[in-house]
Structure 1
Amino acid sequence: MVCKVQKRVSLRRRLHIMRFFNNSSNNNEYVKIEKIREGTFMVKVTCEKGGDKLVCILEAFEEICMNVEQASVSCENGFSMEAIIVAEDQNVDIRDVNQALLKAIGKQSGEKALEEVN
């Protein structure tokens, strides 16, 4: 029973995120997060070049108490970043990181931040 509810909530979240990106004026934006181990994540961000995107993203990491262990940033064909981040608090999950990054990118580009689905 719990498994079905979790799957439904997860599916609803994914659909909400997909709708957010499809309704976005810039469909080149995406955030991909993979959990490497407990409290450690690989983050990939791609979006349009311009503004202080790196600063906004680093501020978002700071707000959720994440430290950047290693990062690679490019502004050649738009903005892209790959980073390994480590949580100070082991209770941080992918959803928290994803929401913080989407909010940072949205704030930077003037778009509405993604709201959590209940």
Structure 2
Amino acid sequence: MGCKMQRRMALRRKLHILRTLTKSKSVRKSSIIMDAFLYIYKLKLQVEAIKREYQYLINHIQEVKVEKLGTGYLIVTVTCKKGEELLVSILEAFEKLNLNVVQTRVPCKHFFGMEAIVEANNIHEATLKEAILQVIQNHAEKYT
């Protein structure tokens, strides 16, 4: 008899927790379970929407920033979709423009990112930015 009572109390406690988590106004056990099912389904839809947005951002992100760093140096920041040999292509573009790379950092977890400090040999920031954007565009066309 005591075991049956303990199970009933445990079930009530669990239903109360479920009702609280799902913010259900229902009183009946079947209604609380159905509300919990709907709540889980809505959460699943929200997760799928977030995944779609994340994929869109990864596939369409493209940013190039070129800023002056003191006298004679530029900081180049590139963020775009991952691609094969993109780093090599960008470094070749630096070489064509006769720029010396002093330091670079390249994180590539979900997207390609690069921060480089280059010596500015009488080159304008807009010219460098345009050259890097052209490399990224050519690279995207080549591997698409």
Q: Name the counterpart of 2:137.
A: 106
Q: Name the counterpart of 2:95.
A: 62
2:105 matches 1:72: yes
Q: Whose relative contact order is higher, 1 or 2, with alpha carbons under 8 Å and at least 6 apart?
A: 1
Q: Name the counterpart of 1:50.
A: 83
Query: Residue 110 of structure 2: SS of its match in structure 1?
Result: coil
Residues 19-64 of structure 1: per-residue CA shift (max 9 Å, x gap) = xxxxxxx530100111113331001000011211101100110111
Structure 2 length normalisation: TM-score?
Answer: 0.55
Name the CA distance, whole Å, in 1 between partners of 2:107 and 2:139.
Answer: 17
Q: Across the two proteins, how many residue pairs are aligned to each other?
A: 84
Q: Name the counterpart of 2:43.
A: none
- Provide structure 1 residue ranges, at least 5 long, that are not aligned to the other structure: 1-25, 112-118
The partner residue of 2:63 within 30, 49, 71 is: 30
One-letter code aligned to 1:60: A
Bigger Rg, structure 1 or 2: 2
Name the CA distance, whole Å, in 2 between partners of 1:83 and 1:65.
Answer: 15
Q: CA RMSD in A?
A: 1.5
Residues 43-86 of structure 1: per-residue CA shift (max 9 Å, x gap) = 10000112111011001101111111000001101100011011
The structure richer in helix per residue is 2
- Provide structure 2 residue ranges, at least 5 long, that are not aligned to the other structure: 1-58
The structure richer in strand per residue is 1
- Determine what percentage of the aligned residue pairs are the same residue: 42
2:74 matches 1:41: yes
